[in-house]
Structure 1
Amino acid sequence: MSERTSWPRVILGFATALVVGAALGSVVQTQVNLIALLGLDVEIGIGTWLATTLEDLFKFGPVYLVMFGVSFLVSQIVAMVGTRFVLTSWRTSVCALAAAVGLWATFKLVDHLAPPPTLIAATRDVGGMLAMLASAAIAGWLFARMATGRSGARRYPGAAAVLALVTLLGFPDGEVRAETVDSYRVETVVSGLEHPWSLAFLPDGGMLVTERPGRLRRITPDGELDPEPVSGVPEVLTGGQAGLFDVSLAPDFEDSRGLYLSYACGTVQANHTCLARARLEGNDLRDLEEIFRARPAKVGTAHYGGRIAWLPDGTLVLSLGDGFDYREEAQRLSSHIGTLVRLRPDGTVPPDNPFVDDPDALPEIYSYGHRNVQGLVYDDAGERLIAHEHGPRGGDEINVIEPGANYGWPVATHGLDYTWARVTPYTEYPGTEPPRLHWTPSIAPSGMALYTDDRFPRWRGDLLVGGLVTRAVHRVEPGSGDATERERLFGEQGERIRDVRTGPDGSVYLLTDSPEGRLLRVTPQQ
């Protein structure tokens, strides 16, 4: 840069390069996502393609502008300072390389700090990552050309002058329905549970509770928490969303003492959702046996599914998440990821499963196209299996499960990615089942119960769905067609609801998800 070059020129060059880089990154993100859908044989017309790209520019673009802007500011200051006295003739190349390296470091830092394994979906594979880094390099090259002009001078931009260009955008929360308080009483049965996940009722009046860190706890019929965890639990991978999930008693538990546990197994770099069975003898598990392991292995500790439901014929259904970074696998019948599987009690495949005769499909699969099913109940009266699943940013769903059906993820969803980018252009797509109900914005649904008792007559026949984000229970009328949310309950507790169960006495039991989680009992107000 010559001595006559003004600061406005530097600032204009930075601002122009920043906007160009953010826009290019947004366009690249969209193309990578849409190309992934083409790999699933999804048809996307040119009009839809362009409209999705444009929508992402206005929704994802501002979010990416902030992320890219911070890395671009730091990288360009470093590049300009570093070439002030040396490598001046290489300044353009250094700025381009610094922009790419800075963005790569930002992606790695954000992925380390953010709950999902990969925040920007385009960076899930090498090709997408390189394309995003190339867009940053173009911005770095453009800044160097505009800021230094033809003379290749040595000045560098001041941070204070350009920080105003990087501003965080606020996004409004979705509408929250008013809560109707019924005449009920909530009492604490047990406290001091570490991230409890699931609850099962024992015939003697006691209960079993799983804790996500890998412990199975027993509650006596008198409501006392046994200080010693149940021994013999399988080795569990913990961390992130990984841990010990559901506990479910065998239908013949009183005779067999059999129970089933779902859990994360393996290592962070190669893990699965697993299912084991054992016999409960006192406070010990005996004859523990792993009977199912989802495949292929995945990297990262997110989206395991893990809910268990029993069907009237004595088979069980287990939900399996999409692993977050593996969403396209939910459309491939050669993978358990993003499916529901149906098994015999010993883990073998029922001969009437929908894909047993398909040589290209895994025979355990019962339905597919799921993101992360964590609510699963069988409705005896309606003779149907009902599931709910997490969407991304919105698009949580309630579905009635049909054998062999495709529930759309990620081809069709009402949700956006966590960065406000489009996962897909479609909310519905031919060959996929639309949800009976979707929540947008997301409630982060957790456990689910079908209430069938008379203690709360108004709730009879309705679903009670826990909400982690809303810190409430959503009462949903399932209906014969679309489902309808009627009200939100128990929000006055102000706690994340992890599981919802109907007890043998007709009371509603809730597990709250926290390091000091509680088991709550809801009874009618006298």
Structure 2
Amino acid sequence: MPTRSGRFAISIKFLIALLVGVLLGSVVQTQFNLAALQSMGIEIPTLLRLETTLQDLITFAPVYAALFIVGFLPSQIAAVLISRWLGGMFQALLSAGAAAIALLVSLKIVDSLAPMPTFIAATREISGLIAMLLCAALAGWLFALLNGHSRNIHRSHPHALTSIALWTSVSGLIVISPPIQAQSVPPYKVNIVAENLAYPWSLAFLPDGRMLVTERPGHLRVLSADGNTLVESLGGLPKVYASGQSGLFDVALSPQFEDDQQVYFSYACGSEEANHTCLARGTLAETSLENVVEIFRVQPAKQGNAHFGGRLTWLPDETLILTLGDGFDYREQAQNLHNHIGSIVRLNRDGSVPDDNPFVGRSDAHPEIYSYGHRNVQGVVYDEKNRRLVAHEHGPRGGDEINIIEAGANYGWPIATGGLDYTGARVTPFKEYPGTVSPLLEWTPSIAPSGIAFYSGELFPQWQGDILIGSLVNKEVRRVRLSNNGRQASDIEGLFGELDERIRDVRIGPEGEVYLLTDSPEGRLLRVVPAE
């Protein structure tokens, strides 16, 4: 039976090995992230590299430690038991191998459960994954080395490590309820128009009062003006790849809809292994879309089910803007004009390229690209009064942005951002970078912006000219005001937070009402009107 001092000594040795594994893993992941930036020609001075590495030890290492210990502790218990069964042989090899395998299993489990395809960015490439596993193996080897190979110590290992397991599994959490604030009466009321919508994503108003609602699993629903379902899902839609963040996205009517009855819609197409953001159009009939044709497809194909963009808006010249995402694991490609990933594209109504697109005629760029350096743009709107295109995009853990989009401009991702990765790691050392456009407004922590609309109705004069932006994380709508010169943006207030629902889309109705779509498997369409 091991003594208390023996258990304490083994605990210290285990914690030393654990600390070494976590610190080495943190340093390695930082270097791989910085190497990805350097591959794009970004210079990172030595002092800045050191500073970034140290910052990651503060913000990333604790997160990594929580993931690391989950596998490291049982792996070392198992290695000790097997080594003991073998008579003390091969403990160093067993401890190293068990630690590497445990980390690999932990990473695969986290990647399968987390909404992002790859939790730790350094492991996107096989070289980064192997480097992280080698750090874990070194920690396991160090633990075996510190303990030596005596039989008595072997006998004490399982008991001491089990004590550590019990100790690390016990934690307390004190929840302090915030003080109740007096609530003012809002100047609006919210009416339910429709319910039981399957992850509704976008809304379009037909001239006769009917409404089209996209549902992410692949349905295009037709509602009457009072919210009754007329058609559960229009026929004629192409096959939609619906998984995670992928599915059926935005819907927009042709600028000449009353003449041509054309409906445009964006969606994810393909499969988990090879998918794209696609754009199609079709002619609206009573219960279906007819003559549906795909007019644009993002190139190249990518893996995973995250960051597709997918918002649509028309410009005054009747060209169509489609926003895109970086596919999450492909963030460096947002700086590569040889593909569409992480860009905003501008197309003619038939999907062809406008002659005045900024990269037309360049052999090193796709001509559809209008702007680039974007992470995941899920909100775009044209400000007719000030004649400017406004978009927002998701940052990682913070760094959500509002930008005025200019033809040919580079919006910086992933070279410059104010946000950290979900693990706490630095995506980049730079918040600003020469040659890239800095955002007008940035949210840290993230609000997860969604739909966006300019308010130009008469029902809410206090909101005239402001932008209404849905927030998935905050479960509200942010009211934002842009300066006339487009150089400043102010976050004025949050609206509709009392609903406590993730807001996926915001639209202004024909009479100036505000329509909201809630992001849920039983989503709702809501109409906001002035309070009586």
**Is 1:521 aligned to 2:527, yes or no?**
yes
Matched residues in 2 for 1:15 and 1:439: separation? Answer: 37
2:316 partner SS: coil
**Aligned-partner Cα distance in 2 for 1:108–1:438:** 32
Corresponding residue of 2:264: 260
C-alpha separation in 2, matches of 1:81 and 1:246: 57
Worse-superposed segment, 425-434 or 40-49: 40-49
Task: Give structure 1 stretches of 5+ with no counterpart.
Answer: none
Give the letter aligned to residue 27 of structure 1: V
Shift of 1:182: 3.8
| Closer/same/farther in 2, CA of residues 181 and 466 from structure 1, 3 Å limit | farther
Q: How does 1:141-160 map to 2 (within 5 A)?
A: 141-148=141-148, 154-155=154-155, 156-158=157-159, 159-160=161-162
Q: CA–CA distance in 2 between the matches of 1:166 and 1:42?
A: 43
> What is the 5 A alignment of 1:8-407?
8-86=8-86, 88-148=88-148, 154-155=154-155, 156-158=157-159, 159-163=161-165, 164=167, 182-407=186-411
Shift in CA distance, 212/374, structure 1 to aligned 2, threshold 3 Å: same
Secondary structure, counterpart of 1:6 in structure 2: helix
Task: Please give the secondary structure, in 2, of the residue aligned with 1:410.
Answer: coil
Give 1:167 shift.
7.9
Name the CA shift for 1:491/1:171 in 2 (closer, same or farther; >3 Å). same
Distance 1:445 1:179, change over 3 A: farther
Normalising by structure 1, we get a TM-score of 0.96
**1:7 alignment partner in structure 2:** 7
Identical positions, percent: 56
Distance (Å, rounded) in 2 between the aligned partners of 1:136 and 1:114: 22
> Would you say the 8 A contact 1:88–1:152 is kept in 2?
no
Residue type matched to 1:53 in 2? T
SS in 1 for 2:250: strand
Q: How many residues align?
A: 525
Cα distance in 1 for partners of 2:87, 2:218 equals 56
Q: Secondary structure at the match of 2:89?
A: helix
* Deviations 1:52-103, CA, capped at 9 Å, x for gaps: 1001001111111111011100111111111112173311011111100110
> How big is each residue's C-alpha offset from its partner over 1:93-124, in whole Å with a ceiling of 9 and x where there is no partner?
11111100110010000001111111111111
Amino acid across the alignment from 2:394? H
Root mean square deviation of aligned Cα: 2.4
| Residues 333, 170 of structure 1: alpha-carbon distance in 2 compared, 3 angstrom cutoff | farther
1:166–1:325 Cα change, 3 Å:
farther
Q: 8 Å contact 2:219–2:232 — kept in the other structure?
A: no
1:162–1:153: structure 2 CA closer, same or farther, 3 Å change rule?
A: closer
Using the alignment, how far apart are the partners of 1:46 and 1:422 within structure 2?
Answer: 16
Kept after mapping to 1: 8 A contact 2:81/2:158: no
| SS in structure 2 at match of 1:322 | coil
Quote the Cα distance in structure 2 between the aligned partners of 1:194 and 1:134. 44
Contact 2:223 2:231 in 1 (8 A): no
3-state DSSP of counterpart to 2:527: strand
Query: Of residues 486, 498, 506 in structure 1, which corresponds to 2:492?
Result: 486
Residue identity matched to 1:489: L
Structure 2: runs of 5 or more not aligned = none
Change (3 A) 1:282 1:379: same
Structure 1 segments, 4+ long, off by >2 Å, are: 2-9, 148-161, 163-173, 177-182
SS at match of 1:474: strand
Contact 1:232-1:285 within 8 A present in 2 as well:
yes
Q: In structure 2, the residue corresponding to 1:157 is in which secondary structure? A: helix
8 Å Cα contact 2:11/2:164 also seen in 1:
yes
